[in-house]
Amino acid sequence: MTEFDGVGVDGVGVPDFVLLDQLTTEAFLENLKDRFRGGKIYTYIGEVVVSVNPYRNMDAIYASDVVAKFRGREIYENEPHVFALADAAYRSTKRLGKDSCIVISGESGAGKTEASKIIMRYIAATTNKTGRGEIERVTKMLIQSNRILEAFGNATTNRNDNSSRFGKYMDINFDFKGDPTGGHILNYLLEKSRVVYQQAGERNFHVFYELLRGAPEALLQSLGLKRDPTVYYYINQGNSHVVSSLNDRRDFDDLRNAMKILGFEPHEQDTLWRLVAVVLHLGNLQFTDSGDHADISDKAAVDTIAALLDTTADQFTNALCYRVVATHREVMHKQHTSELAAYGKDALSKAIYERMFTWIVRKINSRVEVQNSSYHYDNHVIGVLDIYGFEIFDNNSFEQLCINYCNEKLQQLFIELVLKREQEEYEREGIKWVQIKYFNNKIICDLVEEAHTGIIAVLDEACVGVGNVNDTVFLHALDSRLKKHNHYTSRQVDSSDKTIERDTQFKIKHYAGNVKYSVIGFIDKNKDTLYQDFKRLLYNCNSELLKQMWPEGAQDVKQVTKRPKTAGTLFKESMIALVDNLQAKEPFYVRCIKPNEQKSPLLFDDERCQHQVEYLGLLENVRVRRAGYAYRMTYERFVQRYKLMCLETWPNVKGTNRDGTKIILESLDLLEQVAFGNTKIFISNPQTLAELENTRAISLPDIVLIIQRWTRGMLARIRCRKMRAMIYIMLRYRRYKKRYFMSQIIERFSGVKQMSDLGKHLEWPTTSSPVLADFVSLLKLLHGRWRSHIVLSRLPRESWPEMQLKCNAYEAFNKRRPNWGYTRKWLGDYLAQEDNQLAHVYTAQVDALRREFRFDKVYFSAFGVKLNSKGKAQERVIVVTDSHIFKLDAAKGYQKNRSPLALNQLLAVSVSPGNDQSFILHFANPPGGDVACCLFSQNNENRVPELIGVLYHIMQTKHGKKITVNVENTHQFILAKRTKQLQLQSGNSPRPVFQKNSNIGFILFCP
C-alpha cells in the first residue's frame, strides 16, 4: 500500500486515489485532471499505477538518476511512478523467488506500448553489473524486438499514430542473481483484416510504408515496387499514408538494424521483403468473369508475384482461379467466379501476412530465449502483458467481440486477485475479513465462452452448419439461446430498443458499458477460410522459408484432415491459457488512460476519460481497497515517521514498535479509527491519515531545528578534526617528498665529473611542487654553468671569444643549417690579415671610419657581391663593427660610397640551409631597401655562420635584443620599396652572380 506523505506529496492533487476524501466519479476525474495538468502523469490505486498519456516529451522523469532513485526502494518511498512498480516486480522475482507479471491495459493511444518499453528499459538498467556481456545481449535483443514487432504489428489509427494491432505477452527470464537470461514472446489476435481494408484516416501496418519510403532503389526494383504508396490498393484506402509523427525512411533503417542485431540472416530478410511486396501486388490484382469462371486481367502482375514467391505463373494462376475438391476416389478442379477469386485473394493476403508475423515472433524467440542451459535451474520470470484495451466503435465486429472478451477476462482476474491479496493480508495480520460487494463479471465471460450456449459455441455451430447458414441465421440462433440472459439483447429479443438494427446487430452489457455488435462477417472471420490450394502452392515453392511457414501444404490432396479449430475457439483457448498463466504469478497492474483525441498535452476531455475510468474498472478497484481499511503501514515504518509528534516516543521508542504506535495514536485520540494487526497498523479512512500528516507537518519544524543544531555542531567538530589531521599529514608528507627528491638528485648526479658529457644526458627528477620546481630550475642553471666552466677550462683563454661566437651561431641556427662552420677557425676581420696585399690601405681606411663614427672594434670583414637599390650587382667589402655595418668599395681604396647601416635598426637576417654564402639583412625602414649579399673568398670558406654569430653577439651584448634568423631556400626582401624574391641556384662562376627574373625577382647563382 502506498505511503501517503500528506495531500499531494509531489505538490499536485492526491497521489493515491484510495486516499480521496470522497470517492465519486467527479472527485476521481478532478484529481486525475489536476495531476495531468500539473505534469504528474502517474497516480496510484494502492499498488496499481494509473498512467495518463502526456503527449509530450517526458525524458527527464526517466533519466538515469531517476532510475537510481527507485532502485531497491519500496513503492511508498517515492512519488508515483511506473519505475516503482517495475522495481517491485523485479524485487519480487529476485528476492522472494516469485514469478511476476505486469499487466498493461488501456485503449489504443493510451500509451500501453510506451509503458512496456519504459518497464523493459528500467529492468535492463537495474540489473546486476556482473556478467554484463550476456545481460547486454539479452536486454538489447529484447528492446530491439519491440522495433521489429512495431513495424509489422503496429499501424496508424484514428486514435493513435502507433497503435498496436495485436496483443503481446513477453516473459523475461532471470537467473538466481536477478540477471536477465532470455525471454519469450506470445502474440494474440493480429488484426489481419487491416491487411486488406482500412477505414478513412487510417493506415495499413507500418512496414508497407517503411519499405516503400526507406528501401534502396535497387531493392524496390528487384521487388517490382514504386515509391508512391497511393498506387497500391491495400495501403491507400485510408488516404493517410503520410503521418507527421512518423519518419518511415528512418524507421526502415532502424528496422533493418534491429533485424541485424536479432540475427535475421540476409536471405531471411530478403524473403520478408518479398512477402511484403507480394501482399502489395496482390492488392492490385483484378478479376473479370470470362464465361463461367474468373480470369486475371493483369498478366504482368501475376508474373511478378510468381517470381517473388519462387513459383510459376501457371501454378499461381490456377491457385487463384481454381479450387481442388478431392474425395477418396477422385480429384476435381472447381472454377472460381470473380467474386470467389477476389475473396480467395484477400484471404491469401491476410494469411501470408499472418504467417509471416508468426514466423517473425518465432524467430525473435529463438534469439532471445535462454541460451545457457545452466540458467534453467532456479529460473524465474517477469511477464509483461501489453494487451488491447476495451473497444467501442461505431461499427463493432468479430475483432471487437474478441478484444472486449479479453478485457472481461482480465477484469475478472484483476478483481479476483486484488480481493485475494486483500483477504490474504487480512488473514496474515489477524484482522477480521469484511465481505466486499463488487460486480462479478464472470457472468459476461460465461456469456461469451461457455460451452454449448456461449456466443463462440453458437458461432462455431453456425460455421459447421449444413445448408444456407449465414450471419442472420447465426444471430437468430443467439436470440433463441440467450434471450433470457440479463446481459444480452437484440431487436428480436427487445423490440422496444430502437438503437439496435434488426437482423444485423446484438448488444452485450459489458462491465465497461453497452456495446452493439454487427454480425456481418462473423461467420467468415470465425471460419478464417483459406483454400488448401494456396497452402500447397506456397509449400511447394522453391523457398525454404515459405515451406516452414506452410507445413500443412505437404499433405496429400486426398488426405482427409480434421476440421481446424475456428478463430474464436483458438482465441478463447489462448485467453484461458493466458489467465491461467497470470494466476500463477504475482500480478502488478498499469492502467493507461488517453486524455483526449487531439493528442494535445493540454486538453483533458472529462467525458472521454470518464468512459475509460469506467471500462477500466478503476472506481471498482478503489472501492475494493477502501471497503475494509483504506491504508496500512508496518509498525516500524509508522513509528519512524510519526514518533516526532509525541514526547514519549522522541527520539527513541521505549518498548516495541507496536507499543510506540499505540502511544502515538493515544496522544492524538485516534485509537478508535484503527485496527492493530500482527505487523501492521490498519487505518480505516483517509481523514485519519490526513490528521496524522497535518500534526506531523506542524511538529516537523521544531524537530528540524533541533536536528540542524546538533548536526551542524557535529559536522563542525568532524570538519575541524579532519582539517587538523590533514594539515599534519601534509606537513609530514612535504618533508618526506623534499628529502626523497634531494636523495634522488644526489644519487643521480653523484659521478657526473667522470662522465664524458659531464651529466648532460641525465634526466632531472620531475616534481609537482612549485617550490621544488624553482629549485630544480636553479640547479639546472648551476649545473649548466659548471659544465661550461669545465669545458672552457680545457681550452686556451685566447680562444674563448671565438667559442662564444660559435655558441651564438649555434643558438641562432637552432639545428636548421647542418654545416655552420664550427670546425674551422673564425678570424673575424679577414681583410686585415697578412694575405691581403692592400691590408695597410684597408687598415688606414678603417681607422678613419673609427674616428668618424666612433666605434670600438671591427668584428668581421669579408668580400661580397651585393644588390644595389637599382637591382645591379656590386662587389663590396662588408665590414661589421659594434655599431654599424659598412659597405666599402675595394676598387676605390676601400672608400665608403654611402652612409653605413646602423645596427640598432637591424631586425632580422635571412640565410639558406645549404652551404652557400648568401644572406639578406632586413632593416627597419631602410632608405634603399634590405641588403642582399653573397660572400666569396679565394678558398670558398663558409663565413656566413661566422657573420651570423657576430651579429647575434653584437645585438645581444651591445644593443640588448635578439635578432631573428630566418633559414629558408627562397628569400623575400625589400628593394627600392618593392618586395622582391631571391631564389638560389648553383653556378659555375668563381664569383656570385645575380640575375633578374621577371617572375620571381632575382636568381643568385652561387659559386
Backbone angles phi, psi at 186, to 5 degrees: -115, 135
Backbone angles phi, psi at 883, to 5 degrees: -130, -25
**What is the Cα–Cα distance from 990 to 791, expressed in whole angstroms?**
39
669: left (phi over 0), alpha (psi -120 to 50) or beta: left
Could you confirm whether 354 is annotated as catalytic? no
Give the residue from 450, 535, 512 showing the smallest Cα distance to 485. Answer: 450
Q: Residues 167, 183, 214, 389: which is the catalytic one?
A: 389
Q: Residues 93, 100, 160, 349: which is the catalytic one?
A: 160
Q: Report how many helices (DSSP H) and strands (DSSP E) the chain contains, helices first.
A: 30, 32
Q: Residues 391, 422, 693, 946: which is the catalytic one?
A: 391
Burial class (CB in 10 A: 0-12, 13-18, 19+), 153: buried
Q: Residues 106, 109, 283, 929: which is the catalytic one?
A: 109
Q: Residues 108, 489, 649, 657: which is the catalytic one?
A: 108
Residue whose C-alpha cell reads 487505518 in the numeric block: 683
**What is the Cα–Cα distance from 868 to 976, expressed in whole angstroms?**
9
Strands 858-867, 873-881: pairing kind: antiparallel
Cell of 256: 533493418
Could you confirm whether 108 is annotated as catalytic? yes
Q: Give the DSSP letter string of 44-87.
A: EETTEEEEE--SS--GGGGSHHHHHHHTT--GGGSSS-HHHHHH
Cell of 437: 460487494
3-state helix, strand, coil in the chain (%, to 5): 50, 15, 35
* Positive or negative: CA dihedral 610, 615, 620, 622: negative
Helix (H) or strand (E) holding 28: helix 25-37
Any idea of the CA torsion for 621, 624, 630, 636, to the nearest 10 degrees?
-90
Map 928-992 to HEC letters: CECEEEEECCCCCCCCHHHHHHHHHHHHHHCCCCCCEEEECCEEEEEECCEEEEEEEEECCCCCC
291: left (phi over 0), alpha (psi -120 to 50) or beta: left
Q: Go through the chain and tell me how many residues it has.
A: 1007
Q: Residues 51, 93, 164, 574: which is the catalytic one?
A: 164
923: which strand partners? 906
Q: What is the three-class DSSP state of 811?
A: helix
User: Contact at 8 Å (CB) between 331 and 325?
Assistant: yes
Q: Residues 113, 868, 881, 910: which is the catalytic one?
A: 113
**What is the Cα–Cα distance from 88 to 73, expressed in whole angstroms?**
8
Give the residue from 280, 340, 279 showing the smallest Cα distance to 531. Answer: 340
Helix (H) or strand (E) holding 675: strand 674-676
CA 404, 409, 410 angle in degrees (round to 5)? 95
Could you confirm whether 389 is annotated as catalytic? yes
Could you confirm whether 465 is annotated as catalytic? no
Could you confirm whether 240 is annotated as catalytic? no
* Positive or negative: CA dihedral 843, 844, 850, 853: negative
**What is the Cα–Cα distance from 339 to 973, expressed in whole angstroms?**
96
**What is the Cα–Cα distance from 612 to 993, expressed in whole angstroms?**
102
* Positive or negative: CA dihedral 67, 69, 72, 76: negative
Could you confirm whether 490 is annotated as catalytic? no
Cell of 996: 633578374
User: Contact at 8 Å (CB) between 455 and 401?
Assistant: yes
- Known catalytic residues are 108-109, 113, 160, 163-164, 389, 391
